[in-house]
Chains A and B, each alone.
Chain A
Amino acid sequence: MGYFAVKAARNFSRNLLVNGICVATIAIAVFIFSATLLLFLNASAVVEHAARGNRLIVYLRDTALPVDVERVMLALRAQSEVESVEYTSKDRALADFKRSLGPAAGLLEGLEMNPLPASVDVTLKPSAGGLRAVEALAGRVSAMDGVESANYGREVFERLERFMRFLHRLGIGVAVLMVLAVIFIVANTIRLNIYSRREEIEVQQLVGAGGWFIRAPFLMEGAMQGLLGGLLAEMLLLAAYAVVAGAGRSLVTPFGEIRSQFLSPAALAGFAAASTVLGGLGSWLSLGKHIKKFIPQ
């Protein structure tokens, strides 16, 4: 085993250009897949966070009377899942909006009437049951007098869920492509290596080498290409992640801030292992097809 590994490593470095191109191509394939997975992972963290949502904003009609507002507030406070309720008047809403605009607030000077609705900010207890509870409460509150609508980020959530389904399908497609690409690239490189080493194979046979003695270095070389390609892809991914998200930096989402996350060590090890196995498989397929010319069966 060690003997063949040394041989494979030597062969690898002897054909450095061909093998280097092979490794780089594998790295690109694995990178694309693992990047898709990383995106999926973070998007699903957002969805999960959103599903644990505990905020509801109830917008009131401009025609709502103070008694209506009082009744809505009372009704909300009476709900067992509600933790706190906070009223924001039209004037407060406009003032908050102006403050958030900062120096650009002058744009609002000419405004003749206040376009913003009054609203009630509802926070549910953590034990309430997440988005389903928010949705149920929103349904009940919308029916009350003086309530315009109850918003809990439904459209965004649904869009996010659609995006997740898309990512899922994309991930499967990319995974299939990655598997085929790695096998194909390695098979092709090993084919070139078989031909460029035919003198060696012929001499090996002359001195009585068995089929496995001749094949083993090629198999290990393929596995080595897969492994190096996989590791290179992971380093690229880590670099890309550091640039885009920064380790542990928060992602700002409509559902609050969420810590970004990288692939787990187990997933990384899994990728490297899968890439190694695929490399070995590619080599094996190539040997089955091309070594016959040099080893009579």
Chain B
Amino acid sequence: MIQLFHVYKTYERDTPALVDVSVTVERGEFVFLAGQSGAGKSTLLRLLYAAEQPTAGQILVNNVNIARLGSAGVSAMRREIGVVFQDFRLIPWYTIYDNVALAIEVAGRGRGMIRGRVLAWLEHVGLAHKFRAYPRQLSGGEQQRVAIARAMVIDPILVLADEPTGNLDPEITMDVIALFHEVNARGTTVVFATHDRSILQSHHKRIITLAKGRVME
């Protein structure tokens, strides 16, 4: 699903964020991306959904070289990938329903189908009754569940999560991770970045560790 070959990333005139990273993630795998703050976890994920271009090296996502994608190709690729962040990134003036529906609407699908799927996912994360509410009316954990519903509602082939539990208390963290396990069980590849040791220890999955931009697997 993901192949990186000798990837380097240096932000403008800075010390490198990624150095000679070569990693493979198989289809259907669940991997944790570990490493201390500043190790390059977010940078690696941003390369995967083409928010950044690598300084050197090749990246294949679903067998497509993302360096060769034009902006239309990047958009098309993102419609198959779900991304979840620590800070949720919900649109404040969209209702919960509209926030989730947006992910399908960008693909220009029919309305009836959108409604059914959005409500099914909101039901699944336990927020169907709040579909008319706005993000600020929800707790952090609830907002993160909305963001996860948005990522999952498109039936993504790949889910990228950048410390999605960073702002949540331990109990809710378990619920959220369970959701990722569940979509993984249905065949979606998951890359989950975190620096929380307790998460890494309590789930027996492959861990890719970054330190100062290098892979320490």
CB distance from A7 to the nearest CB of B (A): 10
A293 neighbours in B (Cβ, 8 Å): none
Given the contacts A206-B78, A207-B102, A207-B106, A199 and B92 also touching, CB distance less than 8 Å: yes
CB distance from B135 to the nearest CB of A (A): 11
Q: How many residues of B contact A (CB 8 A)?
A: 25
- Cα distance A14–B74 in the bound complex, in angstroms: 30
- Cα distance A73–B80 in the bound complex, in angstroms: 98
B76 at the interface (CB under 8 A from A): yes
Contact of A295 among B71, B78, B90, B102 (CB under 8 A): B71
A-B contacts counted at CB < 8 A amount to 49
B71 and A202 form a contact (CB under 8 A)? no
A208 and B107 form a contact (CB under 8 A)? yes
B102 and A203 form a contact (CB under 8 A)? yes
- Cα distance A213–B81 in the bound complex, in angstroms: 18
- Cα distance A203–B90 in the bound complex, in angstroms: 7
- Cα distance A202–B107 in the bound complex, in angstroms: 16
A204 at the interface (CB under 8 A from B): yes
B102 and A208 form a contact (CB under 8 A)? no
A209 and B93 form a contact (CB under 8 A)? no
A296 at the interface (CB under 8 A from B): yes
B75 and A210 form a contact (CB under 8 A)? yes
Contact of A200 among B49, B79, B91, B150 (CB under 8 A): B91
Which size bracket describes the interface of A in this complex?
Answer: 10 to 19
- Cα distance A210–B74 in the bound complex, in angstroms: 9
B175 at the interface (CB under 8 A from A): no
B71 and A206 form a contact (CB under 8 A)? no
- Give the residues from 154 to 211 in chain A that come closer than 8 angstroms, CB to CB, to chain B: 199-200, 202-211
- Cα distance A297–B70 in the bound complex, in angstroms: 8
Residue of A nearest to B153 (CB): A207
Contact of A206 among B76, B89, B92, B107 (CB under 8 A): B89
Residues 210-227 of chain A, each 1 if its beta carbon lies under 8 Å from chain B, else 0: 110100000000000000
B91 and A206 form a contact (CB under 8 A)? no
Which of A208, A210, A295 counts the most chain B CB atoms within 10 A? A208
Q: List 30 A-B contacts (CB under 8 A).
A: A14-B93, A199-B89, A199-B91, A200-B94, A203-B89, A203-B90, A203-B91, A205-B78, A206-B49, A206-B78, A206-B83, A207-B78, A207-B103, A207-B106, A207-B150, A207-B154, A208-B74, A208-B75, A208-B78, A208-B79, A208-B81, A208-B107, A209-B75, A209-B106, A210-B72, A210-B106, A211-B71, A295-B71, A296-B71, A297-B71
The 7 closest A-B pairs by CB, nearest first: A208-B78, A208-B79, A209-B106, A207-B103, A208-B75, A200-B91, A210-B75
